[in-house]
Amino acid sequence: MQKIVNKINNNLKGSVIIPADKSISHRAVMFASLAKGKSIIKNFSTGKDPLSSLNICKKLGINSEFADNDLIINSTGKLIKPKTTLDCGNSGTTMRLMSGILSGQNFNCTLIGDESLSKRPMKRVIEPLTLMGAKIKSNAFKAPLNIYGKNLHAIDYVSKLASAQVKSCILLAGLNADGKTSFTEPFVSRNHTEIMLKYMGADINTDKNTVTIEKSQLEPRTIEICGDISSAAYFIVAGLIVPNSKIILKNVGLNPTRTGMLEAAEKMGADIEILDKKIVSGEIVGDIQVSFSDLKACTIEGEIIPRLIDELPVIAVLATQAQGTTIVKDAQDLRNKESDRIKAVVTELKKIGANIEETPDGFIIKGKTPLTGGVEIETYHDHRLAMSLYVAGLICEKPISINGFEWVNISFPEFEKLFSALTL
343 — phi, psi (to 5°)? -60, -45
Instruction: Select from 93, 99, 191, 251 the one that contacts ligand S3P (CB under 6 A).
Output: 93
Catalytic residues: 310
Closer to ligand S3P by Cβ: residue 229 or 297: 229
Q: Which residue lies nearest ligand S3P, judged by its C-beta?
A: 23
Which residues, other chains included, contact 43 with Cβ-Cβ below 8 Å and sequence gap of 6+?
A: 19, 20, 69, 224, 225, 226
| Closest distance of CB 310 from ligand S3P, Å | 5
- 25 part of the interface to ligand S3P, by CB under 6 A: no
Closer to ligand S3P by Cβ: residue 91 or 251: 91
The contact pattern for ligand S3P, residues 242-281, with x = CB under 6 A and - = no contact, is ----------------------------------------
For residues 296 and 268, is the Cβ–Cβ distance under 8 A? yes
| Closest distance of CB 38 from ligand S3P, Å | 25
CA-wise closest residue to 33 among 63, 65, 70: 63
For residues 150 and 135, is the Cβ–Cβ distance under 8 A? yes
* Site residues (CB under 6 A) for ligand S3P, limited to 123-182: 163-165, 168
**Rounded Cα distance, 214 and 406, in Å:** 42
CA-wise closest residue to 93 among 189, 204, 237: 189
Instruction: Select from 261, 309, 322, 346 the one that contacts ligand S3P (CB under 6 A).
Output: 309
Closer to ligand S3P by Cβ: residue 27 or 150: 27
Please classify residue 84 by burial: count the beta carbons closer than 10 Å to its beta carbon, then call 0-12 exposed, 13-18 middle and 19+ buried.
exposed
The contact pattern for ligand S3P, residues 315-344, with x = CB under 6 A and - = no contact, is ------------------x-----------
| Closest distance of CB 412 from ligand S3P, Å | 12
**Chain centroid offset of residue 88 CA:** 15
The sign one gets for the Cα dihedral 200, 30, 169, 361 is: negative
| Closest distance of CB 333 from ligand S3P, Å | 6
**Rounded Cα distance, 156 and 136, in Å:** 20
Closer to ligand S3P by Cβ: residue 189 or 245: 189
Q: Residue 324 is inside which H or E element, if any? A: strand 322-328
| Closest distance of CB 20 from ligand S3P, Å | 13
Closer to ligand S3P by Cβ: residue 26 or 150: 26
3-class secondary structure for 74-98? EECCCCCCCCCCEECCCCHHHHHHH
* Site residues (CB under 6 A) for ligand S3P, limited to 186-215: 189-190
Closer to ligand S3P by Cβ: residue 165 or 231: 165
Instruction: Select from 287, 310, 311, 382 the one that contacts ligand S3P (CB under 6 A).
Output: 310
Cα separation of the two ends of the chain:
25
Q: What residues pair up with 102 in beta bridges, in sequence order? A: none
| Closest distance of CB 165 from ligand S3P, Å | 4
The residues that touch ligand S3P, with contacts defined as CB under 6 A, are 23, 93, 163-165, 168, 189-190, 309-310, 333
